[in-house]
Structure 1
Amino acid sequence: MNTTTTSMRVACLAGAALSVLACAFPAAAQNAAAEQDAAEDGSVIVVTGSIRGSLENATETKRAALNVVDVATADSVGRFPDENIAAALARLPGVAVQLDQGQARYIQVRGAPNRWTSVAIDGLPQTGTDEGGGERAYRFDAVPAVLLQQLVVNKSLTPDITAEAITALVDLQTYSPLDDGKLGFSVTGDAGYGFMDLGEGQQRSGSLRLSWTNDRIGIAVGGSHYLRDQVTDNREAGYDANGIPIDIDIRNYELRRENNGLFGAFEVRASDDLKLFVNGIYTEFVDREERNAYEIELADSGARGTRGLLSGSLDNVSITTNYNDGLYVNENIITSAGFDYDTPEGGVKGIVGYTRTENTTDLPLIQSSIRGISVDYDRSADPRFPVVDLFRTINTGGVFSRGEPLGEIPITEQSVPRTILIPIVQGVVSDAWSGRLDAWKQLDDLKISAGLYATKRDITGNNIGIGGIVPLAATGFNPNDYATDRAWNTQFPLGVGINYLDTRAMNRDLQSALATAGIDPANFVLPTSFYDQQERIYAGYAMAQWDAGPLQLVAGLRAEQYEIDNAGTVLFGGTAAPLAVSQDFFDLFPSVNIRYEASDNIVLRLGGQRGVSRPAYAAIRVGASISDTAATIGGGNPFLTPEYTWGADATIEYYFASNGIASISGFHRWVEDVLYQSQQLVGSDLYDTDGIDRSNYLLGSTFNGEQGTLYGVEFNVETQFDFLPGALAGLGVQGNLTLLGGDFEARNAAGDLETFGFQGLSDTVLNASVFYEYAGLSLRVAYQKRSEFLDTIGGLGAGEFRDGFENLDVTARYALTPNITLFADLANLTDETYVAFEGTPATPSEVERIGERYLFGVRFNF
């Protein structure tokens, strides 16, 4: 889209916003006048609204908590103003998001690797199984925000919380009809529609929740839907040891991403002290990704010419083409049932649950090549956006020269004999049964608590890998047949035109050709990538809470027994053989939290704890491939041990007289056995067969490093300036700044200690919002920024960094009536460019942009 069109669109949006304000302010002024009349007798003007209500609820929960927590609550119409949970959590102190093509997917609390944050739903722990099981990190984009009532980020632990949380446990609390306070029938929902600026695809959302309650019974059912048709601009590049590009990869993705959710709750208050409940959640994340990609092979062995740091001129290069109509699906079934018996003297609560997570990936990557091309490239203006000029190559007796210039990449000249299929098929299924029982007794100022927890989880699947290729020439498949005259939607400079291929039709015909030829892509999955695991956790805790006026002390001990049975396949010189390994760990996790109300406005906290993070399923798999010729092994590492940590937290919280909070928090984590990727000697007889000693082979895998430290300080302020006169009382701020540091030591293949940075650690994370909420009008401008961070750690510590980025979002709400609210969400108004780089920003390895997003609609609550 050109600049003029974008400017016109922004102008139209600004005009629409002004129109809303023009309509809103007469009503606001009228209400304000009525409130002023009411205030003349000395009464307090009460400014109501969704942001104010959420702020008050979150502040109240935070103040009453026994440990260090941050809280996000749903707004007054029963949902968060965010597309998913990750985006909602990103507004809290010390929380940064990891994006996948511009969409929030994971969270990182206090700059730590995302695996150090665990998740519970209504207090029952959950475990993430991402694509291939490569991470235990929980995928927050799979759970729509509308299902939830409150998000609690526990930054310090108490013994009743799972110890598998080094930096935080996020408790996702679902909607409870009996706790909502409404009687009779109610309906809550929203409907929205908008567009994506890049590609002009649609964006739509909708949710509906029906509930009915009386004094004893509460029933709720609902569902949600979110969809975006998105174009992602992408450039990638590889470099030699001198930082000179060896390839320029020009990509464009057309995506359809969809989140769907269903949920239900049935609750019975059998007596004033006893509540029975049953909950069920189904969520689905579907990502259909069409890829068009062209990799200009600057270091082609047959190329002639010059290849420089900022520019080059080469003849006789080839262009590798890659096309894909891929599908990613993540499904979750989460059910639970239990009871809650609570009296002033004591109580008991029990809950059992079943969770099934299925994650599948189907990437039928079609690859071909275009040969005999000459290229000039120029990176001098901006290394993120190399500009290329293409020409025909003329070969005269082995002497190459330039022919006619090419205005477009010749997508109809791909080599049919060189066309291959690279089938990438992955699937992971996790079935888990869990249960916990908690009991407590009040003895004057002392509350004694104890509980049991158990889970059994079966995990089967394979991690992503390339297990072979399929030549397509014999099937009659021709990629040139799918060329179109539809030009790319792109905002990046190219220097050459590119048209789309019809990847959907290509994939449809490909699957038909494979079926006719009797070829099943699933047969090309690496046998060493499969794993079959069962893990069991048995835990118990005892905890005491002592209340002595303004002082509260919570201390106790949690014991956890962790067991894992691990089976897979090892290739010994091409011969497959099954192998199994079992491990078990018993650990004690003490914790203490001190809360002191120094005054009516000041709360001081101090906490100490021990925590754990267990290795990902794919990382710990038995599967491996052995090369006796090279004396190397590649695969999982079944001897990995968990990461352990000791931690300390301290906070000073100042609560304003009417609403809001200002706080300073500091924390420190001492971590042992940090996980990282490297090459090391096997050091065991696990892979020894037929008299061959392989204990000195190099294993390329995940390993436990040495010790590390992670530390930081958080500044937070949230308040509405309701002391200001009249309409100015609607102004408010929500802002937090987190400053972070830390690293760890690990040994390289030579046995020498090196220092590494933690994955995901930005030294600065900033969230700032200014809002205005008065007499039915609600406006918020939200700004988020994080500094650069290490994304992945390579074989010997060479990593890929993500450049810092910022986002600016604007939300507007206007209540037409107490039950109907119009809304407008304007997201990514900075039109951010997301950049990854190798070593320094001068060698960007990935550059991506998705454009602004606009969504308009209505919310209702009856």
Structure 2
Amino acid sequence: MIHRFSTGCAMAALAIAAFGAVPAFAQSAPAADAAVESDAAEANDVIIVTGAIAESQAASIREKRIAINLVDVAAADAVGRFPDQNSAAALSRLPAVAVQRDQGQERYIQIRGAPNRWTSVMIDGVPMIGVDEGGDTRAFRFDAVPAVILSSMVINKSLTPEIPADAIVANVDLRTWSPLERKGLHVVGDLGYGFMNLGKGEQRQASLRVSWANDVVGIVLGGSHYRRKQITDNREVGAYDAPSDANDTTFGPTEIDIRQYEIERWSNGLFGGVEYEPVAGQKIWAKAIFTEFNDDEQRNQYELRLDRAASGTRNLDNGNLVGVPMRGSFNYGEYRNRNMIGAIGGDYATDNGFTANIRLNYARTENTSYLPLVQASTSGLNSPSLTYQRSDPRFPVVSLFNTVQVGGRPARGTTALTAFNQTSLNNAGSIAIAARQATVSDSYTVKLDVSKKMDRLTLSAGGLYADRTISGNNFSFSNVAAIGALGSRVGQPFDVNSFVTNRPWVTDFPLGFTLNYIDNRAMRSALDSLLPALTAAGLYNPDNDIPVTDRYRQLEKTMAGYVMASAELDNLLLTGGLRLEHYRLINSGTALIGTTQTPISVKQNRTDLFPSINARFSMGEDVVMRLSGQRGVSRPAYGAIRVGSSINDTASPGTITGGNPGLEAEYTWGIDGSFEYYLPGNGLVSIAGFHRWVDNVFYQNAQVVGSNVFDTPGRDRSGYLLTSTFNGQNGTLYGVEMTYQQQFTFLPSPMDGFGFQGNLTLLDGQFDTQVVNGAQQKGVDFQGLSGTIWNASLYYEKYGFSARASYQWRSDWLDSLGGFGSGESRKSYGNLDVSLRYQVTDNFTLFADAANLTNETYVAYQDTLEQPTEVERIGSRYLFGMRFNF
């Protein structure tokens, strides 16, 4: 286990909230305000605002305080006060939120340490689904949504009936700007330029938002751009030999994988909206959003294949090997993720408390990747001899020697090499692997909500219809072209060794010898020219880039309705209701049985009830306590349930590799409780606890199919062995969240400009697998669950100057499940960011942002830190610029 946190801690927090709530029913102290609107006014009375950070903090606290459920809020200006380019980075400042990074950049969020699939997303209240590489997860990619297009981000940690039920731990609502919020003409934006410390690649950003409104009409247009050029230092080990027993010290790494990536990433966002409100409370509106995340990566990779050495010895600490093949892998790959959203709607409210809201939404999400990989290896005496030592397992240091022939056998020469001869790869054996993936989702959504307020009782009802089409394929690597051998046959010889440059690697990592960069762009251009020529000559078939078994097409329809009542009982606001969801899926694909392609289609229908209840107790002016319960669901990813598969009828028993269309959704019951004490100076002290009981937890394994979904006439395959994703048994997830934030207005000037924001989350959770052949794994960690997550920010804001230092830390966690939980783990890490602002005039502010000042090293490992599988570093980054506001 990576972490342990007792159930008692989580239940203690719930007990605090529940115990504190008991006297709320009977106490005779002054009652809280009857209406939410009165709560809002009261909240404003106790918030002291002195500066932009404080204003943002005040807005967040106000919304949290008056919410009917348990929420955390990031207001818009908080984004501008941090060096956060996307919404994942901005959300990571909130309690119990951890981020998953790719090449050091924030991509997914994990709330309460749960798998990212357990968090759902809405944009302006309309549910969105995530599509990612291969369709292996429904997790939403936040790196494709620039933070500057949003007005606020709300994390709903407890659900109410109007929120879609597909959220086990949380739902995130990303809210865009409303032009009618500010009258007149307003122009807001920023310009920034900087650099990445490792490699000195440029970093730049710009955003512009223009809005105009009078008493009736509001219009907003805006856009954003962010680009960075970075180098990623990377070391990997494919695997470690398994020790024969506990005393075996002869096992070691099977390879040392030396990588460096030259990366150019850019995000763009465009948004626009118009609102028309001829009468107060009666509004129609339209919005359009386009966001994209682009990633061009040049891979320079050399693998020292230690387990294929001609002779020698190796272990965990060191090795002395002769004739070690060196394989080069190179590509210029392209990743793309795009969201296109269009919505129209209307809001209607009357003086007698009736409201109605309708939203019609179309959303298209595309995720595509093309990573054509060129590989070639040394052979014979071109394979160097070497010694290695791993005094620091993260950074193995290798000494190269030439390989000579002695007595008819290869031996280590006496000449030490300061550089590897990168032109010594065996070009005749070079190959190209077409790696392609695409997932596209088209979604149409209609959402209607109505409510009626009657004195202290508010009744609400609504419905949702979502129609989605998802098509795509898993990442496919099966099509291989022998470019070194075939190029000359079509008059386009390909020489992998001709693309070596004289430009040395820029690296922070020790190695023991030097390497130069490959001209990956020129190699990609040559490959793009060669493959069509091979195709025309009948030597290559691009149709095989994506096998039919990797493809999927799914039609998904969700119909939902809910009823909800909210009752104000003096100091108690009680909200409860029921949501009904009918889910239908038509799952189509192709099974490959021997050499025969067989279409398969599986239909699923499921109707579920999702009750929820939220209680908010207001104790005087400063104390709020909450208690809630709910049921939620997490449905399988598209790639995981695809019917496409490869079936082997000749094995005994038969085998199937592919998706698992019989996979059931994960269901949960959960409770939440919190105690919130609101302080002067935008202050808050809170403790919250939660517990989730989860059924049907997903995990990867090989086990008996157990259903007829792969059967064909005359062939029963229910007893075949399927390698795929399966449902485990029950699991539990629980934790405690503690928050403190306050501006120190009680201090004498100028010290009253100081403030603090911090939160600490303690988590634990496990699940049990199925019983397979009499064996069962109990207490398996959830993917992504860090036992401890904390964030701390110290800021100072006065006299037009603003400074903030922020540190984020999370403990070790399990990153991937290999079968029964024996997967790759990630080492704890922290990131230190500093932001400086100076308001030159009312309209201009200068800024300087420094991110990742700790120059963090991200480490993945197998079993222990003595066996790292990936070590990565991107360096710190710096951005300077100006913000303007007219």
TM range (shorter): over 0.9
Q: What's the offset of the Cα at 1:241?
A: 0.9
Q: State how 1:173-572 maps to structure 2 within 5 Å.
A: 173-179=175-181, 182-237=182-237, 238-242=239-243, 244-300=252-308, 303-344=310-351, 345-371=353-379, 372=381, 373-403=383-413, 404-472=415-483, 473-475=485-487, 476-518=493-535, 519=540, 521-572=542-593
Amino acid at match of 1:813: R
Q: What residue in structure 2 maps to residue 827 of structure 1?
A: 851
**Equivalent residues of 1:53, 1:76 under 8 A apart:** no
Q: What residue in structure 2 maps to residue 628 of structure 1?
A: 649
Q: State how 1:527-676 maps to structure 2 within 5 Å.
A: 527-630=548-651, 631-676=654-699
Give, in whole Å, the separation in 1 of the partners of 2:641 and 2:699: 12
Q: What's the offset of the Cα at 1:78?
A: 7.2
Q: Structure 1 residues 566, 431: CA separation in 2 closer, same or farther (over 3 Å shift)? A: same
Q: What's the offset of the Cα at 1:224?
A: 0.3
Q: What residue in structure 2 maps to residue 784 of structure 1?
A: 808
Q: Structure 1 residues 777, 45: CA separation in 2 closer, same or farther (over 3 Å shift)? A: farther
**Equivalent residues of 2:385, 2:412 under 8 A apart:** no
Q: Structure 1 residues 80, 841: CA separation in 2 closer, same or farther (over 3 Å shift)? A: closer
- Relative to the length of structure 1, the TM-score reads 0.93
Give, in whole Å, the separation in 2 of the partners of 1:566 and 1:689: 17
SS at match of 2:168: coil
SS at match of 1:75: helix
Instruction: Please tell me whether residue 679 in structure 1 is matched to residue 702 in structure 2.
Output: yes
Q: What's the offset of the Cα at 1:55?
A: 0.3
Give, in whole Å, the separation in 1 of the partners of 2:79 and 2:306: 56
Amino acid at match of 1:789: W
Give, in whole Å, the separation in 2 of the partners of 1:594 and 1:464: 46
Q: Please, what is the CA RMSD of the aligned residues?
A: 1.6
Q: Structure 1 residues 76, 423: CA separation in 2 closer, same or farther (over 3 Å shift)? A: closer
Give, in whole Å, the separation in 1 of the partners of 2:820 and 2:448: 45
| Uncovered stretches (5+) of structure 2, i.e. residues with no partner | 1-45, 244-250, 488-492
Q: What residue in structure 2 maps to residue 722 of structure 1?
A: 745
Amino acid at match of 2:228: R
Give, in whole Å, the separation in 1 of the partners of 2:67 and 2:78: 22
Q: Structure 1 residues 81, 405: CA separation in 2 closer, same or farther (over 3 Å shift)? A: closer
Q: What residue in structure 2 maps to residue 696 of structure 1?
A: 719
Query: Cα deviation per residue 1:131-176 (whole Å; 9 max; x = unaligned)?
Result: 1111100000000001100100000000011000100000001011
Q: What residue in structure 1 maps to residue 880 of structure 2?
A: 856
Q: What's the offset of the Cα at 1:757?
A: 0.4
Query: Cα deviation per residue 1:322-375 (whole Å; 9 max; x = unaligned)?
Result: 001000001110111101112341110000100001111000000000233343
Q: What residue in structure 2 maps to residue 24 of structure 1?
A: none
**Equivalent residues of 1:47, 1:730 under 8 A apart:** no
- Relative to the length of structure 2, the TM-score reads 0.91
Give, in whole Å, the separation in 2 of the partners of 1:199 and 1:270: 56
SS at match of 2:675: strand
Q: Structure 1 residues 556, 379: CA separation in 2 closer, same or farther (over 3 Å shift)? A: farther
Give, in whole Å, the separation in 2 of the partners of 1:220 and 1:460: 34
| Uncovered stretches (5+) of structure 1, i.e. residues with no partner | 1-43
Q: What's the offset of the Cα at 1:317?
A: 1.6
Give, in whole Å, the separation in 2 of the partners of 1:751 and 1:590: 36
SS at match of 1:508: helix
Instruction: Please tell me whether residue 765 in structure 1 is matched to residue 794 in structure 2.
Output: no
**Equivalent residues of 2:628, 2:672 under 8 A apart:** yes
Query: Cα deviation per residue 1:663-717 (whole Å; 9 max; x = unaligned)?
Result: 0000000000001111110112332346343222110000010000000000001
Give, in whole Å, the separation in 1 of the partners of 2:72 and 2:460: 23
Give, in whole Å, the separation in 2 of the partners of 1:286 and 1:532: 25
**Equivalent residues of 2:447, 2:464 under 8 A apart:** yes
**Equivalent residues of 2:815, 2:826 under 8 A apart:** yes
Q: What's the offset of the Cα at 1:540?
A: 0.2
**Equivalent residues of 2:319, 2:389 under 8 A apart:** no
**Equivalent residues of 1:59, 1:71 under 8 A apart:** yes
SS at match of 1:793: coil
Q: What's the offset of the Cα at 1:574?
A: 2.4
Q: What residue in structure 1 maps to residue 828 of structure 2?
A: 804
**Equivalent residues of 1:284, 1:332 under 8 A apart:** yes
Q: What's the offset of the Cα at 1:396?
A: 3.5
Q: What's the offset of the Cα at 1:379?
A: 3.7
**Equivalent residues of 2:769, 2:820 under 8 A apart:** no
**Equivalent residues of 1:73, 1:80 under 8 A apart:** no
Q: What residue in structure 2 maps to residue 30 of structure 1?
A: none
Higher relative contact order (CA 8 A, sep 6+): 2
Amino acid at match of 2:873: R
Q: What's the offset of the Cα at 1:442?
A: 1.0
Query: Cα deviation per residue 1:187-218 (whole Å; 9 max; x = unaligned)?
Result: 00000000000111000000001111101110
Query: Cα deviation per residue 1:58-112 (whole Å; 9 max; x = unaligned)?
Result: 0000000000000000118978751110000000000000000100000000000
Amino acid at match of 2:737: E
Match of 2:736 among 682, 701, 713: 713
Q: What residue in structure 2 maps to residue 169 of structure 1?
A: 171
Q: What residue in structure 2 maps to residue 101 of structure 1?
A: 103
**Equivalent residues of 2:357, 2:449 under 8 A apart:** yes
Q: What's the offset of the Cα at 1:393?
A: 1.3
Q: What's the offset of the Cα at 1:249?
A: 0.3
**Equivalent residues of 1:270, 1:276 under 8 A apart:** no
